[in-house]
Amino acid sequence: MWKNFWVLFLQLASNFTYGLSISWPTATSPIAKDAPLGIDGCIQPTESGRLESGKFGFVRENGTRFHEGIDIKSFEKTENNVPADKIYAFMDGKVAYANRSPGASSYGSYVVVEHEHFLTLYAHLASVDVVVGQAVKAGEKIGILGTTSNCANIPNARAHVHFEIDFRIGDAHTFAKWYGENFGDKNAHGTFNGINLVGIDPIAAIEKWLKGTKPADFFVGEREAATIQIASTHVPSFVERYAPLVARGIDLTKPVKGWRIEFSWFGLPQKWTPLSAIDPKDPPLKLVSYRKSQKHNALLREVLREEETGIAIGPRLINTLKKMGFDVK
């Protein structure tokens, strides 16, 4: 277990040291000391064979299909060529969700682990070896890599663990309400349904940590694609849950009249500013600004939308607000 273990000690400005341990989700770790392979060597491309297709972003179908995580290659096989890699928890945390019905999700059998600042998700597993509520350490085994999915046909030759670093948008109440209004079927996965999670680029995140960036500083300086203003006294659980990342130094106990929210191009509400007053001439929801350099991807991801009158707020962003419990038309 310690072979796969990577420990980084950060000296903080406040002059105390704390340890931040991360573990690559398989034994073939590109971040371990003296690793023979870099991260690229551990990525499983799609049938296209293009390395980029296993990474995060609009990397599929000529840049039109989004991939919300990375596909980590299988290196270990049984005699019958069945994947056998053990899957390890990325950081210390607690198992938040485990789906053992491979036919019930495009993720197949999957595990979600809750960490101090975010969630990690491990999909297409052959077996799930943890239970909800169980505490896990970085590098602790949580399952076995597989090819399960209710839609993708993953051959053993392209077996991988689909890995995400995620944030949960809605809570049990607000997400269930949104889901009920939009889908007739039963939601089998609660708030850990993939459509209630927004993922960031795991490779970019790992590279930041390797350079010594604390998870809480992760979004500092990130480019926003769209800034919106919403008139509402609602304080979503999202902003409370992730306050150290998205609402730093803000007193969330004070009553609010609205919010200014900055979204990344892939739809993460990454910076929140409470407003104590709203101009009565303003509509309840408005696009304050967007960044031209992020426009292309933000339009593709439907964070923005092109209208005859110009650029407007896109349907993904509106649905994100609804999942968080905002009353948006």
Q: Which stretch binds Zn ion (CB under 5 A): 71-79, 103-111, 295-303, 304-312?
A: 71-79
* Min dist. Cβ of residue 66 to Zn ion (A): 11
| Interacting residue with Zn ion among 27, 46, 60, 71 (CB under 5 A) | 71
Site for Zn ion in 178-237 (CB under 5 A): none
Q: Name the residue nearer to Zn ion (CB basis): 71 or 224.
A: 71
What whole-number distance in Å separates Cα of residue 262 and Cα of residue 218?
15
Cβ(92)–Cβ(21) under 8 Å? yes
* Min dist. Cβ of residue 125 to Zn ion (A): 13
Q: How many residues bind Zn ion (CB under 5 A)?
A: 2
Q: Give the tokens for residue 24.
A: 């690559």
* Min dist. Cβ of residue 231 to Zn ion (A): 38
Helix pair 315-323, 172-182: axis angle to 10 deg:
130
* Min dist. Cβ of residue 47 to Zn ion (A): 13
* Min dist. Cβ of residue 68 to Zn ion (A): 8
Compute the half-sphere exposure of residue 79: CA atoms within 13 Å on the CB side of its CA. Answer: 0
Q: Name the residue nearer to Zn ion (CB basis): 112 or 246.
A: 112
Amino acid at 235: V
124 sits near Zn ion (criterion: CB under 5 A): no
Q: Which stretch binds Zn ion (CB under 5 A): 6-14, 64-72, 91-99, 320-328?
A: 64-72
| Interacting residue with Zn ion among 55, 60, 115, 162 (CB under 5 A) | 162
Indicate the burial class of 280 (C-beta count within 10 angstroms; 0-12, 13-18, 19 or more).
Answer: exposed
* Min dist. Cβ of residue 150 to Zn ion (A): 14
Q: Which residue is nearest to Zn ion (CB)?
A: 162
What whole-number distance in Å separates Cα of residue 226 and Cα of residue 158?
36
* Min dist. Cβ of residue 44 to Zn ion (A): 8
Helix H, strand E, coil C: the string for 212-236 is CCCHHHCCCCCCCCEEEEEECCCCC
**Per-residue binding letters, 18-57, with Zn ion (x by CB under 5 A):** ----------------------------------------
What whole-number distance in Å separates Cα of residue 7 and Cα of residue 192?
29
Q: Which stretch binds Zn ion (CB under 5 A): 161-169, 178-186, 227-235, 243-251?
A: 161-169
Q: Name the residue nearer to Zn ion (CB basis): 87 or 304.
A: 87
Judged by DSSP in three states, 324 sits in coil
| Helix residue spans in the chain (DSSP H) | 172-182, 202-210, 237-241, 243-246, 295-300, 315-323
Binding site for Zn ion (CB under 5 A): 71, 162
